[in-house]
Amino acid sequence: MAAPWEDVLRNEAAVQEAARVAVDAALLAGVLMRTEGQPNASDVVNYAPFTLLPSAVPSALFEQAYAVQQDFNLLVDAISQNKEFLEHTLASTIKVDDFTARLFRIHVQILEEGLAQSVFLGINRSDYMFDCGVDGTPALKQIEINTIAASFGGLTSRTAAVHGQVLKVLGKSEEATRLLPNNPAKGLAVGIAKAWELYGSPSAVVMFLVEEVQRNIFDQRCVENELWNRNIRVIRKQFRDVFEKGSLDDARRLYMDGQEVAVVYYREGYVPKNYNQKNWEARLLLERSRAVKCPDIATQLAGTKKVQQELSRPGTLERLLPGRPEAVARIRATFAGLYSLDMGEEGDKIAAMAIADPDRFVLKPQREGGGNNLYGEELRQVLEKIRGSPERTSYILMDKIKPQPAMNYLLRAHSPLQVSECISELGIFGVYVRRGKEMVMNEAAGHLLRTKATKHADGGVAAGVAVLDTPFLV
């Protein structure tokens, strides 16, 4: 599964020159992040970390990941509309995980009041690794699906051009032509624009709900500029602004600073630290409104790890997607082994199995954003501590994926240039829009490849571990 760069990796002078070209190309293309030292200032920026060379991805698995994305869009949407499924699946989790419990309480309150929202927008990203398993044949296995604040659709739209330039400099022009065009920023914006249009108020705005610390602002600006190009006004606000200035009228239309809001696009709100009491009140206000939330709270709950584990149980997919056996088969083919740690005999057995052989598994809490999973000795220690406690039900256990490593250079500002043994994770962006019961749009909107050194067990680009990459299909 190797890409044809082995000769390059051995030529230090060529690597040094290519790295200089790559960094300038990234700055020129706008593959940018703000700095850790000044995370809210755009007058001091640097390139977002990325690989020197594109990474090999098996073309059959790449095509499989794209082919199943519309099925996953339908599945996430079906889960979000199924109150009984969410209630049953999250019953044990909400007893021990306060964050999931608070989200669920808002979900129940909204349903009891009656939904004001009639148009639904989903932007998700399904992430995979290539598991080489027992016989060494790579297979596509899903790591997770992100249903809120799925990032890097903007910067990855610009990364392929950088890698194309690097390959040309290295005398590999033919290989450069084989890099796929990729523009998730446009795909995401098309979905937001469709939801805005169906909301039906031409003067209304799209509100990006953003964090206080905004290092990754340029990624968001890529999507934002696509909307401005369609003459759709965009405002950027934080939970604090919503609490202080947000209001609903009698028809539950949402207003910010006197402007009607058609779509709320969350790039915030996915982890407990995003919330204080005022922020929870702001979230409730947003959920009660007519505005199209991306995601609405039910769709955020559909992305929890506990739901992912429940989907792997026999018969669950068939109940959620009745009459779609082909979609069920495509989805199920991507599942890794997933195990419940619920209280009872089954959960006891699973916990004991993981403690006995911790290197076979990953322990996952109900959290987004990378850097939360537990492996090896740490997994064993945590499970031993909570094995007899209901706290274990806030985690799921998953088979550890074993991908084939490859050598590459990871370019990071102020870091020495050195070759690393790396593994990659492929994400496919999905966008769908539903009005009432009618699915108006359902598309795969582009891809994201992230690569990290094998010495790091967990973490994404925003967490400072993985770097942006471009697939080279083999």
Q: Let me know: does 169 contact 460? Beta carbons within 8 Å.
A: no
Least Cα distance to 425 among 24, 228, 142, 152 occurs for 142
- Selecting among 34, 283, 293, 450, the annotated active-site residue is 450
Q: What secondary structure does DSSP assign to 395-416, as a single string?
A: EEEEEPP-PPPEEEEEE-TT--
* Known catalytic membership, residue 450: yes
* Known catalytic membership, residue 305: yes
- Selecting among 281, 369, 443, 464, the annotated active-site residue is 369
* Known catalytic membership, residue 59: no
- Selecting among 125, 158, 293, 306, the annotated active-site residue is 125
Give the separation between CA 50 and CA 271, rounded to whole angstroms. Answer: 26
* Known catalytic membership, residue 146: yes
* Known catalytic membership, residue 289: no
* Known catalytic membership, residue 125: yes
Give the separation between CA 80 and CA 110, rounded to whole angstroms. Answer: 13
Question: 365 phi and psi, to 5 degrees?
Answer: -85, 170
* Known catalytic membership, residue 313: no
Neighbour-count burial of 416, counting CB atoms closer than 10 A to its CB (0-12 exposed, 13-18 middle, 19+ buried): exposed
Give the separation between CA 32 and CA 52, rounded to whole angstroms. Answer: 16
- Selecting among 34, 237, 290, 364, the annotated active-site residue is 364
* Known catalytic membership, residue 151: yes
Q: Let me know: does 167 contact 54? Beta carbons within 8 Å.
A: yes
- Selecting among 80, 124, 126, 151, the annotated active-site residue is 151
Write the CA distances from 243 to 40, 237, 346, integer angstroms: 21, 10, 44
Least Cα distance to 390 among 138, 155, 97, 182 occurs for 97
- Selecting among 253, 368, 394, 452, the annotated active-site residue is 368
- Selecting among 172, 194, 305, 306, the annotated active-site residue is 305
* Known catalytic membership, residue 368: yes
- Selecting among 30, 141, 144, 183, the annotated active-site residue is 144
- Selecting among 55, 73, 124, 146, the annotated active-site residue is 146
Write the CA distances from 366 to 1, 31, 88, 143, 306, integer angstroms: 33, 30, 16, 13, 7
Give the separation between CA 239 and CA 212, rounded to whole angstroms. Answer: 9
Give the separation between CA 449 and CA 445, rounded to whole angstroms. Answer: 14
Amino acid (one-letter) located at 282: A
Give the separation between CA 385 and CA 372, rounded to whole angstroms. Answer: 17
> What amino acid positions are annotated as catalytic residues?
125, 144, 146, 151, 305, 364, 368-369, 450
